[in-house]
Amino acid sequence: MEAARRDLLQIFGTALSQVEGRGLVHRYLSGSADAGEFALVALGKAAGSMALGAVDALGERLVDGLVISKPGHLDRQALAAAGLTALEGGHPVPDASSLGAGERLLEYLNGLPAGRELLFLISGGASSLVEVLQQGVGLEDLQAVNRWLLGSGLSITAMNRVRKGLSAIKGGRLLRHLQGRRVLALMISDVPGDDPAVIGSGLLVPDPTLRGELAALELPDRVRQLIGDPGDLPVDSPATVTIEILATLKDARAAAAAEARRLGYPVHLSHAFLSAEAGNCGRRLALELLDSWPGVYVWGGEPSVWLPEEPGRGGRNQHLALAAATVIEGRDDICFLSAGTDGTDGPGEDAGALVDGGTIGRARCAGFEAQECLARADSGSLLAASGDLIDTGPTGTNVMDLMLGLKLESG
């Protein structure tokens, strides 16, 4: 089983390397025929990695820039050496630093020389990391809404619509600050459907359907009052914006499947997007493994979790993996991995978990019961005790979650 666990971790690591921001941006810009100078704005969990890819490709053509990411995800020394300003915002709940980052972003854009071309690098997490609020909305309001969203079970598309309703820069409103410039926006998608209007809550993409979509959502009265009328979003912009999606969940799944084949395993690749409740999802995938042929199974998506009043340690991937572990308990031929491609799962620093048939027994010896931990949303505490957590550190990408199952030949 140890060899099987190592193989699953290797497959996961290979998938991450194929969607890592620095290499993606470098390759794209190295093949570009545009010989002009650029100012850079990089936003999101992969912002630091993507920005260094731009440095690699553009050299002195990159005049200056602003990079905003999650704490611990920036190589400040390397960015400063390239003349780029690095800032941190709050994540997964925005904080005062997120508002400070939003203020600095507008100052930077408004201070650029006329005609300077802009390179935007946008990845998941930007919705929380940088914000400028609508009049009448305060930081405490923003945080309360985001905490509710994170435990609401809403899809990321619906969550980002709510965020647009509170924001003065999302839903394409940032276009008003671009002063007719030429803009190239390179994105790593962390949303189903890979819609640029949803990635980062659509900083550069107007959402003309926002009013109607918000009206259709079931929201608490307090949230509905804060949003009010989201106002008119810009439909046309004097800026010329070109958007390219560099990496998606599909790319990560394909890379995982290719590495599994290279290691000699039969591969079963699912193209379905998994968005169900994490516990149900984990149990279903584990049951699928019990009744399947040997080989590596690859899934992807972004399941949801309904959180209790005082949740414990862990995130949706740990919750999903623990639920799967309850199904494969006692098996010596199955292991299962679920992890966030950004290297974080929930508010902690763990990426997810890799469980096997011994997980529940190891946890029980340490005094943990799986069903109690699932009910308290405290899967991380159990998985820490069983030795099954995955710690990748910042990965330089964010294309949602990967789930990998391995069933060995019997006998």
Per-residue pLDDT of the chain (411 residues; tens, 9 = 90+): 899 999 999 999 999 999 999 999 999 999 775 667 899 999 999 999 999 999 999 998 999 999 999 998 999 999 999 999 999 999 888 999 999 999 999 999 999 998 889 999 999 999 999 999 988 889 998 888 888 888 787 888 888 888 988 899 999 999 989 988 899 999 999 999 999 999 999 999 988 888 888 888 888 888 888 887 766 555 556 668 999 999 999 999 999 999 999 999 999 999 999 999 999 999 999 999 999 999 999 999 999 888 887 888 999 999 999 999 999 999 999 999 999 999 999 778 899 999 999 999 999 999 999 999 999 999 999 999 999 999 999 999 999 999 999 999 875
The pair phi, psi for residue 181, each rounded to 5°, is -75, 165
**Secondary structure of the chain as H, E, C letters:** CHHHHHHHHHHHHHHHHHCCHHHHHHHHHHCCCCCCCEEEEEECCCHHHHHHHHHHHHHHHEEEEEEEECCCCCCHHHHHHCCEEEEECCCCCCCHHHHHHHHHHHHHHHCCCCCCEEEEEECCCHHHHCCCECCCCCHHHHHHHHHHHHCCCCCHHHHHHHHHHHECCCCCHHHHHCCCCEEEEEEECCCHHHCCCCHHHCCCCCCCCHHHHHHHCCCCHHHHHHHCCCCCCCCCCCCEEEEEEEECHHHHHHHHHHHHHHCCCCEEEEEEEECCEHHHHHHHHHHHHHCCCCEEEEEEECCECCCCCCCCCCCHHHHHHHHHHHHCCCCCCEEEEEEECCCCCCCCCCCEEEEECCHHHHHHHCCCCHHHHHHCCCHHHHHHHHCCEECCCCCCCCCCEEEEEEECCCC
pLDDT of amino acid 235: 54
Q: How far apart are the first and last CA of the chain?
A: 13
**Contact between residue 382 and residue 370 where contact means Cβ atoms under 8 Å apart:** yes
- In this prediction the pTM is 0.91
Domains of the chain: 2-14+250-407 (3.40.1480.10), 20-247 (3.40.50.10180)
**Contact between residue 175 and residue 168 where contact means Cβ atoms under 8 Å apart:** no
Distance CA 325, CA 61 (A): 51
pLDDT of amino acid 28: 95
Which pair of tokens denotes residue 344?
A: 């974080």
pLDDT of amino acid 238: 65
Residues 6+ apart with CB under 8 A from 105: 41, 43, 66, 68, 130, 132, 169
**Contact between residue 322 and residue 373 where contact means Cβ atoms under 8 Å apart:** yes
pLDDT of amino acid 57: 95
Distance CA 378, CA 389 (A): 13
Residues 6+ apart with CB under 8 A from 258: 14
Residues 6+ apart with CB under 8 A from 63: 37, 38, 39, 83, 116
